[in-house]
């Protein structure tokens, strides 16, 4: 390595250190690949070899992970990758707004997630835009559950436009829950990650967690509630205005979506796109835009998102060049 150097870090608790390095140093091997350094573990010391800037990033990463273990939390691949992302100089450390639920603590694993957690604390309504795998829905559900457990709100309302069914849910078999369940599966998955299964079931049965297809929200005012409108890019402008105006006293609303994944019929403008244009600068509304760098799923997902982004950018450049030639 050019300008190679090395630094040794000492850790006081060997039990925590074993959790940090992982079985057969597997965690260190993952961090080496992501941080572009060489890590050696001996006794209660980890030695870092690399360029000065990469060593500094590795120091911040290892310290963050050790403190995470010391606080009683576990490490998984996502925590390792997230700590590495947030240790990069341009991240400024990420916002520290952890969400605690009955089953787990949700921390920022990217710069965008740090901004999202802060926005959820600061605003009554938050728009979260970006590609799949950035945690838009998952973190919103975590925040809703945390507020329900704290008694800050009385109920959680989960909604998603059922575009695939054309909102014609009456033609689908089963009761209302059975009709909309397939479209709200990601929201359910997040709920079961935050709460014990029997508690989720009780809250659903009591109505304290409500699953409401977008078409069924018309005419209501939702007070003391945390409302999540997921996949909002598939709303029409009329539907979006209707949904946004459901918010009542002491309520929060999160609107998530990905403008590159619109399933509306050709020629129909996305309600999410329309809302962003209309509500720009309105006080009390937060906006977080995620990028491919915020994808916290498999590394391959990040590369897929980047490839599609690059293709779309190339198409826009070509379209611009074609317009220039026509002129």
Note the pLDDT of residue 185. Answer: 80
CA distance 141 to 143: 5
Note the pLDDT tens digit of each residue in 238-283: 999 999 999 999 999 999 999 988 988 888 999 999 999 999 989 9
pLDDT band, residue 85 (cuts 50/70/90)? confident
Q: Do the domain assignments include residue 194?
A: yes
Q: Do the domain assignments include residue 306?
A: no
CA 30, 135, 39 angle in degrees (round to 5)? 15
Strands 5-10 and 225-229 come out as unpaired
Q: Do the domain assignments include residue 322?
A: no
Note the pLDDT tens digit of each residue in 10-53: 999 989 999 999 999 999 999 998 889 999 999 999 999 989 88
The answer to whether 105 touches 76, Cβ cutoff 8 Å, is no
Mean pLDDT of 49-61: 89
Distance in angstroms between the alpha carbons of the first and the last residue of the chain: 52
Note the pLDDT of residue 324. Answer: 62
Same domain, 138 and 263: yes
Q: Do the domain assignments include residue 309?
A: no
Domain coverage including residue 11: 5-91
Same domain, 77 and 142: no
Which region among 33-42, 233-242, 312-321 has the lowest average model confidence (pLDDT)?
312-321
Same domain, 17 and 165: no
Q: Do the domain assignments include residue 321?
A: no
Q: Tell which residue, 153, 152, 228, has the closest CA to residue 184.
A: 228
Same domain, 105 and 141: yes
Q: Could you say which of 72, 91, 110 is where a domain stops? A: 91
Query: Does the structure show a pLDDT above 60 at 327?
Result: no
* Residue recorded with tokens 């001996």: 42
In angstroms, what CA-CA distances link 194 with 26, 30, 68? 27, 27, 19
To the nearest whole number, what is the mean pLDDT of the chain?
Answer: 85
Mean pLDDT of 295-311: 76
With a pLDDT cut of 70, the percent of the chain lying above it is: 85
Q: Do the domain assignments include residue 303?
A: no
CA 72, 78, 83 angle in degrees (round to 5)? 70
The answer to whether 264 touches 236, Cβ cutoff 8 Å, is yes
Note the pLDDT of residue 297. Answer: 67
pLDDT band, residue 3 (cuts 50/70/90)? low
Q: Which residue has the higher pLDDT, 285 or 84?
A: 285
Same domain, 238 and 106: yes
The structure tokens listed for 74 are 């576990």
In angstroms, what CA-CA distances link 59 with 31, 33, 223? 11, 15, 46
Q: Could you say which of 65, 91, 117 is where a domain stops? A: 91
**Residue 242 sits in a domain of what CATH number?**
3.40.50.300
**Residue 37 sits in a domain of what CATH number?**
3.30.1370.10
Same domain, 82 and 132: no
Note the pLDDT of residue 298. Answer: 63
Mean pLDDT of 127-154: 94
Note the pLDDT of residue 296. Answer: 77
Query: Does the structure show a pLDDT above 80 at 320?
Result: no
Same domain, 52 and 201: no
Same domain, 9 and 77: yes
Note the pLDDT tens digit of each residue in 153-205: 999 999 888 764 444 445 455 555 565 666 678 888 899 999 999 999 999 99
Mean pLDDT of 96-124: 86
pLDDT band, residue 4 (cuts 50/70/90)? low
Q: Could you say which of 91, 112, 131 is where a domain stops? A: 91
Q: How many CB atoms within 10 Å of residue 169?
A: 17
Same domain, 80 and 111: no
Same domain, 170 and 283: yes
Mean pLDDT of 72-92: 78
Same domain, 217 and 150: yes
Query: Does the structure show a pLDDT above 90 at 309?
Result: no
Split into its structural domains, the chain has a count of: 2
Q: Do the domain assignments include residue 37?
A: yes
Same domain, 272 and 207: yes
Q: Do the domain assignments include residue 323?
A: no
Measured in residues, the chain has a length of 327
């Amino acid at each position: 390595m050019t300008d190679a150097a090395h630094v040794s870090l000492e850790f006081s608790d060997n039990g925590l250190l074993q959790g940090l390095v992982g079985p057969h140093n597997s965690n260190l091997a993952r961090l080496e690949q992501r941080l572009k350094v060489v890590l050696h573990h001996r006794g209660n010391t980890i030695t870092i070899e690399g360029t000065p800037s990469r060593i500094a990033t590795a120091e911040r990463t290892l310290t963050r992970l050790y403190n995470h273990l010391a606080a009683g939390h576990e490490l998984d691949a996502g925590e390792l990758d997230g700590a590495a992302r947030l240790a990069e100089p341009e991240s400024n450390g990420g916002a520290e707004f952890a969400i605690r639920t009955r089953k787990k603590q949700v921390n920022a694993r990217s710069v965008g997630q740090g901004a999202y957690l802060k926005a959820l604390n600061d605003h009554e309504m938050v728009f979260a835009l970006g590609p799949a795998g950035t945690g838009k829905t998952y973190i919103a559900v975590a925040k809703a559950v945390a507020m329900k457990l704290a008694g800050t709100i009385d109920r959680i309302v989960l909604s998603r436009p059922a575009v695939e069914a054309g909102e014609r849910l009456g033609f689908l078999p089963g009761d209302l829950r059975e009709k909309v369940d397939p479209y709200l599966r990601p929201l359910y998955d997040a709920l079961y990650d935050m709460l014990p299964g029997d508690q989720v079931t009780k809250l659903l049965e009591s109505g304290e967690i409500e699953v409401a297809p977008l078409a069924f929200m018309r005419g209501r005012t939702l007070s003391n509630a945390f409302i999540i409108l997921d996949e909002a890019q598939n709303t029409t402008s009329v539907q979006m205005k209707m949904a946004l105006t459901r918010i009542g006293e002491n309520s929060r609303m999160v609107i998530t979506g990905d403008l590159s994944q619109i399933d509306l019929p050709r020629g129909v403008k996305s309600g999410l796109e329309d809302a962003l244009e209309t509500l720009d600068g309105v006080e009390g509304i937060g906006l977080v835009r995620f990028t491919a760098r915020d994808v916290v799923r498999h590394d391959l997902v990040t590369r897929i998102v980047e490839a599609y982004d690059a293709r779309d950018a190339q198409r826009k450049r070509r379209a611009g060049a074609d317009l220039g030639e026509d002129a």
